[in-house]
Amino acid sequence: MNQLSTLPRSKRPTTERGQRTRQHLLDAAESVFGDTPFEHASISEITRRAGVALGTFYVYFPHKQAIFVELVDELGTRLREALNAEVKKASARLDKERAGFRAFFEFAGKHRNLYRVVRQAEFVDEAAYHRYYRTLGNAYAKGLKSAMESGEIGRFDPEIVAFALMGMADMIGMRFVLWESPQKLDQVVDEVVELMTHGLLSANRRGGK
C-alpha cells in the first residue's frame, strides 16, 4: 500500500453538522473494516452504514485509505483519552496501572473491532500502524519514567517496560474481553497487578493458589 503522505489528505469540516457527518463516516468505517478486510471493503458500504450519499464521502475523504488511516489515528486518540481519564484519578503507580488496564479492557469491549482495524494497519499503512503504538507507548513510558525517578517503582528502561505491559494488555484483552464476555474483569486486572507487583518468582505465589 502507498503511504498516506503521498496521497491527497482528508478534509476537516469547520461546521458542527460537517463534524457530525464525518464522525458518522468514521463510525461506519470502524464497523465495515472490522467486518471486512480492507481490500474487500467498499466506500459504498461505509456510506450505506453511515446513512449518507456516496458522494458525501468524498467531501471528507479522498479515498478509502484516507478514512482507514484517520480511523486508526482516531481510535488511538480516543483510547489514550479513555486511559488518561481513569489513570489521572489515581495517585500511586500501581493504582494507575490497575486503572489503565481496566480502562483498556473496557475500551476494547466497547470497540470490538479495535484489534482487527489496528492489525490491518500494518499492511494498509505501516506509518499509521507504527504511530498508533509509538504514541501510546511514548505516553506510557513517560509516566513510568516519572515513577522510576521518584523511587516508586524499580528502575528499568521505561520504553521496554511500557511495550512489555502493552503487549500483556493486548493479549489479555483478546483472551478475556473479545473471546468471551468479560465477567471476570476484576479478577483479571487483580492478577495482572499482582504479577507486576511481585513477579513470577514471588515467594507467596509459588505453587499457585
Query: Which CATH number goes with the domain that contains 108?
Result: 1.10.357.10
Give the model's pLDDT for residue 183: 72
CB-side neighbour CA atoms (13 Å) of 78? 15
pLDDT at 22 over 90: yes
* CB 192, CB 168: distance < 8 Å: yes
Residue 81 near residue 107 (C-beta atoms within 8 A): no
* Domain hosting residue 122, numbered range: 64-205
Report percent pLDDT > 90 for the chain.
81
Residue 8's pLDDT band (cuts 50, 70, 90): low
* pLDDT tens digit sequence for 23-70: 999 999 999 999 999 999 999 999 999 999 999 999 999 999 999 999
* Digit-coded pLDDT (tens) for 150-201: 999 999 999 999 999 999 999 999 999 999 876 788 899 999 999 998 888 7
The three cell numbers of residue 170 are 493486548
What is the model's pLDDT at position 58? 96
* E strand or H helix at 54: helix 54-60
66 vs 115: CA distance, rounded Å = 19
Q: Hunting for cell 450519499 — which residue is that?
A: 53
Please, are residues 44 and 54 in contact by the beta-carbon 8 Å criterion? yes
Check residue 184 and give its pLDDT.
Answer: 83
Residue 199: which of 154, 167, 163 has the closest Cα? 154
Sign, CA dihedral 165-171-172-173, equals: positive
Domain membership of residue 158 (yes or no) is yes
Q: Over 60: is that where the pLDDT of 16 sits?
A: yes
Distance CA 108, CA 2 (A): 28
Best-predicted range by mean pLDDT (3-17, 82-96, 168-182, 188-202): 82-96
In a domain, 54, yes or no: no
Domain membership of residue 11 (yes or no) is: no
Q: How many domains does the chain have?
A: 1
Q: Tell whether 132 is covered by a domain.
A: yes
Q: Is residue 34 part of a domain?
A: no
In this prediction the pTM is 0.89
User: For 166, what's the count of Cα atoms within 13 Å in the CB-facing half-sphere?
Assistant: 20
Is 18 part of any domain? no
Q: How confident is the model at residue 128 (pLDDT cuts 50, 70, 90)?
A: very high
Residue 85 inside a domain? The answer is yes
CB atoms under 10 Å from CB of 58, counted, come to 13
| 159 is a domain residue | yes
